[in-house]
A and B are shown apart, each in its own frame.
Chain A
Amino acid sequence: MAEALTQLKLQAPPVELEREPLVANQRNLAWLSDRVAAIVEGKTPLWWWIAFVPSSIALCMLGAMLLYQISVGIGVWGNNHPVMWGWDIINFVWWIGIGHAGTLISAILFLLRQRWRTAVNRAAEAMTIFAVMCAGIYPAVHVGRVWFDWWLFPFPNANGPIWPQFRSPLMWDVFAVSTYFTVSVLFWYVGLIPDLAVVRDRAKTRLRKFLYGLFALGWTGSNRHWSNYEKAYLILAGLSTPLVLSVHSIVSLDFSVSQLPGWHTTIFPPYFVAGAIFSGFGMVLSLLIPLRKWCKLEDVITMRHIDLMCKVTLATGSIVGYAYGMEFFIAWYSGNPYERFAFINRAMGPYMWGYWTMIICNVVVPQFFWSKRIRNNLVIVFIISILVNVGMWFERFVIIVISLHREFLPGNWGYFRPTWVDICTYLGTFGLFFTCFLLFMRFLPMIAVSEVKGVTPQADPHHPLGGAKAGGHP
């Protein structure tokens, strides 16, 4: 019997079918800790300062713009009579869409056991949090009387009490975005704990020991800690998964609950979610392609990771393209002349440049990702990832400005132009985003070290290099 079993032993798969390892060049576990911690512990590189100084200047500009806008009024922006929402809501939706890739990578790919996520999830989650912060500024300051923002929250009050209008999608937004932000921060922080302990244990100064120790919450790496940690992480992944779908669905309802041609469509929730993931992966690629080189992380964020993210971008970009086509079909099929006009006006009206920029960047350009040669060319991937987010910005421009500027009564029709304040505020949000992101990657481990160790070939005891003998200590 025993002989029969040994004869059944499966042969190793042929070499050409073997997957590329998730950590390249047979890097061992010690190298991983050293490499990731070095970014936090080493001397500040010059490129970091070159990126940080303009970012923090832009952040100051954001503060100045908001002070100016709040002290004078919404009139400093370009918003006008038919186009009551302009760059404020465009940028809100754009930033919050970017945030979606982080949660998708960290939650859905975790539940689907996509092990390649571990190399990129920490940076992507940080991106999510900072993007949601940039997004959150806009709905807060775009209202005419910022000091009454708290009226949007349902709280018991002495005025009757007066409750918010629970039928309004703006009310739902308050819940959707604040829940999303809270859960994203928690998820990110829980994942950080074991890695904060790594940095704490290596710290050489008292201050570092204290601060990293404080936030590592006394992590010792015991079995009980790991067991609790894994459970908490799984539960948070489960909680975040519906949020990936719900937040942008709710944001899309800001439009589809209205009756405006071009806004009032049932396709919006899935179409917005696909677009959000599309733009989020675009942003992850734009951030990680330079970072992996500057931080010498090419063996952790490998070409296989880039390749896989390009494929997600291609898939979601194609869904978005399908949605654009379907919108046109339904506008024609509805037989409603106002609907038809709204869509013809997008493609042929005074803003046709915006529409065609969107089509080229979102539908045409990602199709290049069908080619493996292009997916392996970092320069082209980087350019396409930027174009994806240009396209997604124009998608929101098309939906908001082009739908509003010509709607039911031609006597109201107008034209929207942004002012210098619109532009500087938008650039300022980049300042906030990059300042936060640069501080994050300089002071926190930007790769989930403990998780990446788990997906190295050495972590597998059956691997020729695995086990304690080859230095693969846990």
Chain B
Amino acid sequence: MHKLSTTQNHWAMEGRPIIREANLDQYRQHPHFATGMNMHEPPKPEGATEWPAPLYPNPLDIPDKNGKTPRDQAVHAWGMSIDLNACVGCSACMLACQSENNIPIVGKDQVSRNREMHWIRIDRYYTGGVEDPQVVNQPMLCQHCESAPCENVCPVNATVHDNEGLNVMAYNRCVGTRYCSNNCPYKVRRFNYLDYNRRPLELLTGPVYTTPLTHRVDGQWELVRWLKDPDKGLRPDDEWELLKLVKNPDVTVRMRGVMEKCTYCLQRIEQAKIAHKVKAGASGNIEVPDGAIKTACQQACPAEAIIFGNLKDPNSRVSQLKKQERDYAVLEFLATKPRTTYLARVRNPNPEMPDYKVREGKPESLREWERQGNTLEGHGAPDAGHGTDGGHGGEKKGAH
């Protein structure tokens, strides 16, 4: 029997509004269907300044000595919009990200142990019956939550916010408790369970792994070699030198025991900022123009489904996209205020086709969600500004 390894083990959406879809008819009837699928919130308690209140503090709203918040002071507020209507699930973004960010390839055995390292992944769900399912895809990456659950639980302050809204990882500070990943609702953090960069693939198979205490490379005990030069890996020298050419010199290589995740291509952001500062000179206009920064996933996306940019600029493409009525945040009820939001998918099936009637004129994912006792109609007034709550407060504020 041949064993297959997959990066995803469960393909049903379980009626959860994770990928939100409507047919053109429903979209016309309920233009705000995407936020209409948000979880029902209990009424706002008296005296609450923010509702729904996030569980964890929002570092962007904590004022400094002069009473100014990082949100006010920052020139940029980075954000991303992903159009699920455009995404075809081709996985080009995954490959681009892997090469850009020096993400290790872990091999079949580690993938079968659910330890792949992708910073962006394509979640694929099958909806409807087994006989005639519908397929939906969703690129999932670090959502850069403003009230980030991961930051609050790290005992060593290894994951923190910068004032432009990036949730940044200090790899050097990380000791690897993995609590951040347990508390990440999107599970987009990846842990270096083994020294993936230093080990060739044949040393990445269990159940008994090679230990540097007993392993010999180039005719020398690995431990002795390491003591002489800690920069060596469990690979022969020639292979190790060749490997260096594969890596992106602008990005670090993480060692074992360290958590890593999407940075919104921090190196590209910094390069653009520096370049623009040089260009701006004495004029002092250091705001990076829209479109100057493209994340690796965005650059590779053939459908232009991924748009990254500055939310402080109301005219930037990403700000415009986030103003669309299709805009929604995944798991908005957690009130983590993700900077990455999605544009809901609208299908336009031919009503003459036989499956249209079988599906009652609705996408299967919407039917599954309705089967849980939800309706688009019964969810308050769909146009009464659902978009201002939950995940969107942050961006809206940032845009002013």
Contacts and interface: CB of A to CB of B under 8 A. Distances in A.
B191 A84 contact: yes
Contacts of B16: 337-338, 408-410
A410 B149 contact: no
A81 B187 contact: yes
Contacts of B125: 410-411
B232 to A, nearest CB: 15
B114 A80 contact: yes
A75 interface: yes
B175 A411 contact: no
A170 B177 contact: yes
B191 A149 contact: no
A406 B8 CA distance: 12
Given A76-B209, A151-B173, A168 B182 contact: no
A324 interface: no
A419 B115 CA distance: 15
A68 interface: yes
Contacts of A260: 182-183, 185
B27 interface: no
Interface string A241-273: 000000000000010011110001000000000
With most chain B CB atoms within 10 A of its CB, the pick from A145, A162, A258 is: A258
A409 B193 contact: no
Interface of A: 67-68, 71-76, 78-82, 84-85, 142-146, 148-149, 151-152, 162-165, 167-171, 174, 254, 257-260, 264, 335-338, 341, 404, 406-415, 419-420
Contacts of B334: 259
B140 A411 contact: yes
With most chain A CB atoms within 10 A of its CB, the pick from B110, B186, B187 is: B187
B258 interface: yes
A93 to B, nearest CB: 14
A411 B157 contact: no
Contact of A144 (B8, B18, B182, B257): B257
Contacts of A164: 155-157
B152 A167 contact: yes
Contact of A408 (B15, B121, B186, B190): B186
Contacts of A169: 153
B175 A148 contact: yes
A145 B182 CA distance: 18
Given A84-B181, A164-B155, A258-B183, A73 B213 contact: no
Contact of B195 (A73, A149, A165, A171): A73
Nearest to A83: B114
Given A73-B194, A85-B178, A170 B114 contact: no
A411 B156 contact: no
Interface residues of B, number: 67
B193 A75 contact: yes
Given A84-B182, A144-B191, A258-B153, A410 B13 contact: yes
Nearest to A412: B187
B153 A409 contact: no
23 contacts: A67-B213, A71-B211, A74-B194, A80-B114, A82-B114, A84-B181, A144-B191, A144-B258, A145-B175, A145-B176, A148-B156, A152-B155, A152-B175, A257-B152, A341-B14, A407-B187, A408-B186, A409-B140, A410-B14, A411-B18, A411-B124, A414-B9, A420-B207
A411 B181 contact: no
B178 A144 contact: yes
A81 B192 CA distance: 10
B266 interface: no
A165 B185 contact: no
Contacts of A145: 174-176, 255-258
Nearest to B156: A151
B55 A259 contact: yes
A260 to B, nearest CB: 7
A10 to B, nearest CB: 61
B181 A143 contact: no
A224 to B, nearest CB: 46
B113 interface: yes
A168 B154 contact: yes
Contact of A409 (B156, B157, B187, B211): B187
Contact of A71 (B39, B115, B179, B212): B212
A411 B8 CA distance: 6
Contacts of A259: 55, 149, 183, 185, 334
A394 to B, nearest CB: 20
A336 to B, nearest CB: 8
Contacts of B157: 162-165
B191 A165 contact: no
A409 B11 CA distance: 10
A81 B153 contact: no
Nearest to B223: A71
Nearest to B18: A409
A76 B194 CA distance: 8
Q: Is the interface of A mostly helix, strand, loop or mixed?
A: loop
Contacts of B211: 68, 71-72
Interface in B1-22: 8-16, 18
B331 interface: yes
B206 interface: yes
B123 interface: yes
Interface in B127-166: 138, 140, 149, 152-157
Contacts of A409: 16, 18, 123, 140, 185-187, 330-331
B9 A413 contact: yes
A170 B155 contact: yes
B66 interface: no
A243 to B, nearest CB: 21
Contact of B155 (A72, A171, A341): A171
B398 to A, nearest CB: 23
With most chain A CB atoms within 10 A of its CB, the pick from B121, B179, B194, B195 is: B179
A73 B210 CA distance: 11
A169 to B, nearest CB: 7
Contact of A73 (B12, B155, B256, B331): B256
A205 to B, nearest CB: 42
A419 B193 CA distance: 14
Nearest to A171: B155
B194 A81 contact: no
Contact of A337 (B10, B123, B372): B372
B254 to A, nearest CB: 10
A67 to B, nearest CB: 7
B154 A165 contact: yes
Contact of B256 (A79, A144, A404): A144
A398 to B, nearest CB: 15
Interface in B245-266: 255-259
Given A163-B157, A170-B153, 14 more contacts: A80-B115, A82-B114, A84-B191, A152-B175, A162-B157, A164-B157, A165-B157, A337-B16, A338-B16, A410-B16, A411-B8, A413-B10, A414-B114, A420-B207
Contacts of B124: 411
B175 to A, nearest CB: 5
Which are the 7 A-B pairs with shortest beta-carbon distances? A144-B176, A144-B257, A75-B193, A411-B123, A75-B194, A80-B114, A170-B155
A187 to B, nearest CB: 28
A404 B182 contact: yes
Nearest to A68: B211
A165 B115 contact: no
B155 A165 contact: yes
Nearest to B113: A80
A74 B152 CA distance: 23
A410 B12 contact: yes
A418 to B, nearest CB: 11
Contact of A415 (B9, B154, B174, B212): B9
A73 B186 contact: no
Contacts of A84: 178-179, 181-182, 191
